[in-house]
Amino acid sequence: MIRKIFNKLFKPRFRTERTKLEHHKTEPAKLRSANRPILNTKFGNKKTPLNNQHRGNATVIPYSQHQIDRSLLSNAAHKTIDGLQKAGFEAYIVGGAVRDLLLNRKPKDFDVATDATPEEVNRVFRRSRIIGRRFRLVHVLFGDETIEVSTFRGHHSAEGDAHTDKSGRIIRDNVFGSLEEDAARRDFTVNALYYDPTHQEVLDFHQGFADVQAGLLRMIGNPETRYAEDPVRMLRVVRLSAKLGLKIEPATMAPISKMADLLQDVPASRLFDEMLKLFLSGHAIESVSALRAQHLHHGLLPMLDVVLEQPMGERFVMLALKNTDERIRSGKSANPSFLFATLLWHEVLASWETYKAEVPPIPALHMAMTEVIATQAEKLAIHNRYTATMKEIWAMQPRFEQRAGKRPFSLLTHPRYRAGYDFLLLRSESGEVPAELSEWWTAFANAEGETRSAMLQADTNPKKRRRKSRKKPNDKHGSSTPESNA
Ligand code: ATP
Ligand code: MG
């Protein structure tokens, strides 16, 4: 009896569930699309559920062709996709990660695109938070890994609230859309591939798979329109081609030099982020040369003007970039503050020269640093968190000239000694200071006890002055006030 009631109440449901699952195996996209709630767009007028027709315009690349090894996905990426798909949504790995996997490179991170709204994603994962204003995304957290999940974005020229300014630049881009629309608003064909690890399929709306195989970076749609919408794409094409060794397809390349001026209207902070990616890509040298060849540097990117238009500084900066590239390629981290300190060092040197005519060298250096930070750092939108370290690295440089008494010992204990010393090595390699100086410091830091003391040079500083400064209660060795370093 109880069994009968139980069967009556629950069996049919079980059966439908099982039928669903069976369908799920054969027709996943269709079923999940039909099953999913209608997308709750901000404007509430998108009533057609996402269904198979979008798949209809996509080429489905099977495993036999793409051969992506899904075990290369991080656990977090797997869990995010599983969580969303089990909740009835579509979910794909998208963007740089799919491209990199197809190129046999290790993806930097994994981004997920879904038809779930940010709120729906947020409800699926307990440890997640909605971020962003311009377009809301969800960060799903697993230990120290974060997966960025974005809802399919609609076409900006569709109805909704995408707005462009006079030059065609998109200033608002806030509308949800279908998978196909999401693919169309991405920049390059190789960046618009959608990988479903559960079914091991790649969906391709723009022949991106063929372009990966041909080693081509091709803009989706009309390149001129797409650069006008977002001029940063000009920097991205150059950076990605240098980083991935892909050729820029001729029509994608053609408009760049004549449209380069549009970069002037891009907010400094966005340029800064893009430049940081470029400098820390492990391919900074190639990227900078390519930007130069495309005339993308001149007068447009203050950072690159600074880098390339100092006759004396170019060698130093190129060495610094080469050094950073090598560090990154060998898996080490590179500190942005160190990099910016190198980029602006010759500005500091020039300004220091001027101030030295008026005041003693150390106060003059501090005045120069303040001036360069005030003008350049603001122009380049360098965050405050970097400028403090930059100043420390610069202020340490004259202290390397002091090789007598207790000063070298106190410099070794400076918390940024290593960065200061690496900076000195670059200065010496570029010919700015004698190699003998950096060699002395290398030997001094490695020596011990007696050997180290024996390396010290004779103290030529007037004793009277030192005694006077010792009387000051707060003047400890290693303090970075100009007087104590003089
Ligand atoms: P990287 O490996 O350097 O991170 P990426 O292609 O993944 O390269 P992201 O900035 O992480 O670059 O962007 C992720 C994806 O978002 C891109 O692959 C692309 O599909 C899309 N995208 C990013 N920036 C733009 C843009 N300016 N215009 C259109 N689509 C973009
Ligand atoms: Mg990326």
Return the ∠ at Cα 206 (arms to 204 and 209), rounded to 5°. 55
Whether residue 59 is contained in a domain is answered as: yes
Q: What integer is the mean pLDDT of 419-432?
A: 94
CA of 94 to the centre of ligand 1 (A): 10
Cα gap 69→123, rounded to integer Å? 30
Q: What was the pLDDT predicted at 463?
A: 53
253-275 pLDDT tens trace: 999 989 988 988 888 888 888 88
> Which of 185, 214, 243 is the endpoint of a domain?
214
Q: Are residues 1 and 76 in the same domain?
A: no
* Whether 70 and 107 share a structural domain: yes
Query: Which-ligand-closest: CA of 94?
Result: 1
pLDDT score, position 104? 95
Q: Give residue-wise pLDDT tens across range 303-339.
A: 677 667 776 778 888 899 999 999 999 988 888 999 9
What is the CATH classification number for the domain harbouring 466?
1.10.3090.10
Give the pLDDT band of residue 450 (cuts 50, 70, 90).
confident
DSSP 470: H
Domain boundary among 189, 214, 239: 214
Q: Please report, for residues 5, 41, 176, 315, the alpha-carbon distance to residue 44 in angstroms, rounded to integers and kept in the order given.
A: 42, 5, 10, 57
pLDDT-based confidence at residue 132 (cuts at 50, 70, 90): confident
Closest approach atom of ligand 1 to CA 243 = 3
Same domain, 102 and 21: no
Cα 339 to the chain's mean position, in Å? 14
Kindly state whether residues 117 and 5 are assigned to the same domain: no
Sign of the C-alpha dihedral computed for residues 257, 297, 262 and 97 taken in this order: positive
On the question of pLDDT at 284 being above 80, the answer is yes
- 191 and 70 in a single domain? The answer is yes
Q: At 144, is the secondary structure helix, strand, or coil? A: coil
Residue 231, ligand 1, Cβ within 6 A: no
Of 50-64, 207-221, 375-389, 435-449, minimum mean pLDDT range: 50-64
Distances in Å between the Cα of 11 and the Cα atoms of 1, 23, 24, 88 are 15, 18, 19, 21
Dist. CA 124 → ligand 1 center (Å): 25
Same domain, 59 and 205: yes
- The pLDDT, as a whole number, for residue 301 is 62
Q: What is the pTM of this model?
A: 0.75
Asked whether residue 141 is assigned to any structural domain, the reply reads yes
pLDDT of res. 35: 33
397 lines ligand 1 (CB under 6 A): no
Q: Please indicate, yes or no, if residue 147 is contained in any of the structural domains.
A: yes
Q: For residues 93 and 77, what is the distance between their CA atoms, to the nearest angstrom? A: 8
Percent of the chain with pLDDT over 90: 54
Q: Where does the pLDDT of residue 211 fall: very low under 50, low under 70, confident under 90, or very high at 90 and above?
A: very high
Residues 18 and 132 in one domain: no
Domain boundary among 214, 229, 246: 214
Active-site positions read 109, 111, 187
- Element spanning 129, H or E: strand 128-131
User: Using a 6 Å cutoff on CB, does residue 96 contact ligand 1?
Assistant: yes
CATH number at residue 141: 3.30.460.10
Is 152 within a domain? yes
Concatenating the DSSP letter of every residue in 162-212 gives: -EE-TTS-EEE---B--HHHHHHTSSBGGG-EEEETTTTEEEESSSHHHHH
From atom 2 of ligand 1, which residue's Cα is the shortest distance away?
96
Task: Report the number of distinct structural domains present in the chain.
Answer: 3
Burial 195-204 (b: 16+ CB within 10 A, else e): bbbbebbbbb
Chain segment 162-202, per-residue pLDDT in tens: 556 666 666 555 688 899 999 999 999 999 999 999 999 99
Do 192 and 156 share a domain, yes or no? yes
Answer yes or no: is 121 within a domain.
yes
Ligand at shortest distance from the CA of 135: 1
Q: Are residue 3 and residue 152 in the same domain, yes or no?
A: no
Band the pLDDT of 123: cuts 50, 70, 90.
very high
Higher pLDDT, 288 or 23: 288
The residue whose CA has the least distance to atom 15 of ligand 1 is: 95
* Residues 82, 2 share a domain: no
**What number is the average pLDDT over the span 224-244?**
94
Q: In terms of domains, do 89 and 16 share one?
A: no
- Pick 280 or 135 by higher pLDDT: 280
Q: What's the helix, strand, coil split of the chain in %, to 5? A: 55, 10, 35
Ramachandran angles phi, psi of 117, nearest 5°: -75, 160
Q: Which residue has the higher pLDDT, 340 or 23?
A: 340
362 part of a folded domain: yes
- Look over the chain and give the mean of its residue pLDDT values, rounded to a whole number: 81
Paired strand residues for 473: none
Domain extent, residue 53, equals: 36-214
pLDDT classification of 85: cutoffs 50, 70, 90: very high
Specify the DSSP class assigned to residue 282.
S
Q: Work out the number of other CB atoms within 10 angstroms of the CB of residue 73.
A: 20
